[in-house]
């Protein structure tokens, strides 16, 4: 079984790549916001939101089946080739059919959701991009299950750099605007598709095995409504904001979301390392589950502190990072940041449901209710509060989702005895939010805010109940 030390190392590698990508992206914001208007940002955000939604139908949750059943097939080379080949071949067939269908019916279906945005060339490039973006994520998932964090990170960062260079050429040099941004993503999707296809030919049997695909679909299909609901909770706000307030405001909101999303980048990196390790521990009842709970509490403390510091310091950072047309984006950052803290809590609590084969049937309950609440709140709050209303809807829906998966996990995983100290975890997050509100209300200068942040950090550390020696011991295990 992989050690905690290895998990933390892998999380560090995934996190480093995420931070590097985010840091480089932020340093380029002054350039991007000079060459792209709020409307350009809005168009890109809407197109990527729609393609993110469609991507779930292209994969049908089968990438999740790879994570679930990887360890069942890895010891038999022939069976493993058949397993991977079945999943990939199915996805390629689905991708081809869906792409042709959506191009042929865009006037009836897609055009209704992209108000003020032309299908050609914007949405057309987005569709082609999502069609070619199926194989590479599957290969990356396999690397995660193999705990090959270094290779995963190298490939991920390489893709990011190529996209970045193409963006600079198309946006800054050739001055294609948002078309250049979409074109960069399209070109990179083709490159990664070809690369992943060549790699898969080495250990894949290109054939659909009936037993494997039935088993995989049985596990994966319940994840589709869950994924759809997840998309609604994270991306529907842009579409509603676009329809109610216009594309330019979506662009401003997207900048604020990009800052708040820093917490999500860290949480996603940690989760990438946590899930394979968690599955390994749960597989053997003799393993100590307390290390899972200490691990989770430590990182929830980290996320909460990150959201606190980001919320207070973002007004100072934003003035140096973006064009003045985007300054109002600062208003939504605290809500988005803490929304993603709750999403980090969700990642830990939902792991038990993903591990349990019957658990995937219930995950969608939390996701669906959360998504419905998100949509209702967006329609209620955006007309009056605009981007703040959208960000508050995100915060509430993510918090609700984390609570619901906690209770579902406690009901379904009784035999596995998953005893998360949820009271302590939620106390950390809520107190961090209260401290953030108090500091922002005081409207002090930078030095005073910094002193208060340091004091708040010490307070939250003691509230967590974690001891320094426990954190050191966790790292050494």
The band of 366, judged by pLDDT with boundaries at 50, 70 and 90, is confident
Integer CA distances (angstroms), 305 to 12, 19, 334, in order = 17, 16, 12
pLDDT at 286 (0 to 100): 62
Extract the tokens encoding 244: 């109610």
Plot region of 60 (φ>0 → left; ψ -120 to 50 → alpha; else → beta)? left
Note whether 387 and 256 are within 8 A (CB).
yes
* Spatial separation of the C-alpha atoms in residues 401 and 409, rounded to whole Å: 12
Q: 121-143 pLDDT, tens per residue?
A: 999 999 999 999 999 988 988 88
Helix (H, G, I), strand (E, B) or coil at 322: coil
* Spatial separation of the C-alpha atoms in residues 421 and 300, rounded to whole Å: 12
Extract the tokens encoding 444: 């002090």
pTM value is: 0.71
Nearest-10 crossing angle of helices 77-105, 62-73: 170
For the chain, domain boundaries: 1-39+223-477, 61-220
The DSSP 8-state label assigned to residue 193 in this structure reads: H
Note whether 406 and 421 are within 8 A (CB).
no
Question: How much of the chain exceeds pLDDT 70, in percent?
Answer: 90
* Spatial separation of the C-alpha atoms in residues 43 and 251, rounded to whole Å: 8
* Spatial separation of the C-alpha atoms in residues 267 and 263, rounded to whole Å: 6
Q: 275-317 pLDDT, tens per residue?
A: 777 877 776 666 667 788 888 888 999 999 999 999 999 998 8
pLDDT at 20 (0 to 100): 74
pLDDT of 266 over the 90 cut: no
Region 375-397: mean pLDDT is 94
The DSSP 8-state label assigned to residue 17 in this structure reads: H
DSSP string, 375-421: HHHHHHHHHHHHHHHHHHHHHHHHHHHHHHHHHHHHHHTGGGT----
Extract the tokens encoding 328: 């109002």
| Angle (CA) 343 461 475, round 5° | 75
pLDDT at 190 (0 to 100): 96
* Spatial separation of the C-alpha atoms in residues 294 and 472, rounded to whole Å: 11
pLDDT of 17 over the 80 cut: no
The residues, any chain, with a CB within 8 Å of residue 39's CB and separated by 6 or more, are 247, 248, 251
């Amino acid at each position: 079984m992989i050690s905690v030390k290895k998990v933390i190392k892998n999380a560090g590698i995934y996190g480093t790549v995420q931070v590097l990508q985010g840091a480089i992206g932020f340093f380029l914001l002054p350039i991007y916001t000079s060459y792209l208007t709020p409307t350009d940002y809005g168009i890109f955000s809407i197109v990527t939101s729609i393609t993110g939604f469609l991507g779930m139908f292209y994969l049908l949750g089968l990438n999740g089946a790879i994570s679930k059943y990887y360890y069942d097939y890895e010891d038999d080379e022939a069976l493993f080739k058949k397993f991977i080949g079945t999943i990939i071949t199915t996805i390629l067939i689905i991708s081809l059919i869906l792409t042709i269908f959506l191009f042929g019916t865009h006037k009836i279906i897609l055009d209704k959701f992209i108000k003020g945005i032309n299908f050609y060339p914007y949405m057309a490039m987005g569709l082609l991009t999502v069609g070619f973006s199926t194989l590479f994520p599957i290969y990356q998932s396999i690397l995660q299950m193999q705990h090959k964090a270094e290779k995963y990170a190298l490939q991920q960062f390489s893709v990011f750099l190529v996209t970045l260079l193409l963006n600079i050429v198309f946006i800054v040099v050739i001055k294609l605007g948002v078309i250049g941004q979409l074109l960069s993503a399209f070109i990179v999707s083709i490159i990664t598709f070809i690369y992943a296809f060549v790699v898969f030919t080495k250990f894949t049997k290109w054939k659909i095995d009936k037993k494997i695909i039935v088993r995989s679909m049985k596990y994966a299909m319940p994840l589709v409504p869950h994924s759809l609901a997840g998309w609604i909770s994270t991306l529907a706000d842009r579409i509603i904001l676009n329809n109610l307030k216009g594309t330019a405001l979506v662009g401003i909101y997207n900048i604020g979301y990009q800052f708040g999303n820093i917490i999500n980048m860290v949480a996603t990196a940690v989760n990438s390392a946590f899930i394979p390790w968690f599955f390994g521990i749960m597989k053997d009842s003799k393993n100590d589950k307390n290390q899972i709970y200490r691990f989770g509490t430590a990182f929830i403390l980290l996320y909460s502190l990150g959201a606190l510091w980001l919320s207070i310091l973002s007004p100072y950072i934003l003035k140096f990072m973006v064009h003045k047309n985007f300054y109002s984006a600062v208003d939504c950052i605290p809500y988005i940041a803490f929304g993603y803290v709750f999403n980090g809590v969700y990642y830990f609590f939902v792991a038990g449901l993903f591990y349990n084969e019957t658990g995937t049937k219930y995950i969608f309950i939390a996701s669906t209710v959360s998504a419905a609440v998100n949509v209702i709140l967006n329609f209620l709050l955006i007309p009056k509060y605009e981007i703040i209303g959208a960000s508050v809807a995100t915060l509430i829906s993510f918090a609700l989702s984390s609570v619901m998966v906690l209770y579902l996990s406690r009901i379904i995983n009784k035999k596995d005895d998953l005893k998360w100290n949820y009271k302590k975890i939620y106390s950390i997050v809520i107190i961090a939010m209260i401290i953030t509100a108090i500091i922002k209300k005081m409207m002090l200068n930078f030095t005073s805010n910094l002193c208060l942040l340091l004091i708040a950090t010490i307070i939250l550390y003691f509230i967590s109940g974690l001891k320094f020696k426990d954190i050191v011991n966790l790292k050494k295990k």
